[in-house]
């Protein structure tokens, strides 16, 4: 059997995406409490994600959403990493700006530990991709569209997307948001 580079590279991306989810899961968590949600999106769901990003760009006049949608289009898969908004129940923490976790929850604010754990997990995931030479970029815009499409459970409050690519030059740099909207 002969395998062409596109097939092999797609399989490599999916293998690395699996490893990225494992890396995010095993990243250190505050108080040892895991509030992460991870998933891989490809195919039709990935196309819907890019379309939702373009709609957000148009509705909000936020050019970078359309630019980033082009990156999602050009990527075989996207990793999503998010966090539930579940304050840890700590007394006298106030790192989030509220007196305690009860006040944080009442205000609908994000627990600083949840968001910090998400950041550490994202770093672990993208370092795994980089170690395997898979181009990637953490994108807020992808996460916002994933939330809008209800790809994640209802009580996930913060999510980022990481499109994955294998091209001779990374598609995630030297990007121009103006040229995407004029196409």
pLDDT computed for residue 176 by the predictor: 67
Q: How many residues does the chain have?
A: 183
Residue boundaries of the structural domains of the chain: 5-182
37 DSSP β-pair partners? 82
Q: Which two tokens stand for residue 30?
A: 């505050």
Residue 153 CB-density burial (10 A; 0-12 exposed, 13-18 middle, 19+ buried): exposed
Give the whole-angstrom CA distance, residue 107 versus residue 32: 24
Give 10-residue mean pLDDT values along the chain (183 residues): 90 98 96 95 98 98 96 98 91 87 88 95 98 98 98 94 95 68 43
pLDDT computed for residue 183 by the predictor: 43
Phi, psi of 139, rounded to the nearest 5 degrees: -130, 120
Say which CATH topology domain 5-182 has: NADH Oxidase (3.40.109)
């Amino acid at each position: 059997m002969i395998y062409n580079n596109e097939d092999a590279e797609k399989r490599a991306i999916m293998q690395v995406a699996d490893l990225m989810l494992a890396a995010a899961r095993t990243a250190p968590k505050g108080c040892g409490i895991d509030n992460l949600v991870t998933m891989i999106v490809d195919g039709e769901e990935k196309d819907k994600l890019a379309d939702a990003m373009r709609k957000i760009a148009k509705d909000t006049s936020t050019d970078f959403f359309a630019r980033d949608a082009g990156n999602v289009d050009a990527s075989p898969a996207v990793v999503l990493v998010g966090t539930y908004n579940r304050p840890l129940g700590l007394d006298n923490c106030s790192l989030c700006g509220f007196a305690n976790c009860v006040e944080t929850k009442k205000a609908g604010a994000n627990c600083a530990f949840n968001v910090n754990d998400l950041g550490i997990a994202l770093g672990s995931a993208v370092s795994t991709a980089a170690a395997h030479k898979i181009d990637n970029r953490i994108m807020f815009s992808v996460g916002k569209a994933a939330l809008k499409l209800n790809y994640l459970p209802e009580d996930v409050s913060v999510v980022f997307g990481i499109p994955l690519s294998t091209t001779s030059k990374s598609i995630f740099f030297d990007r121009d948001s103006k040229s995407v909207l004029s196409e």
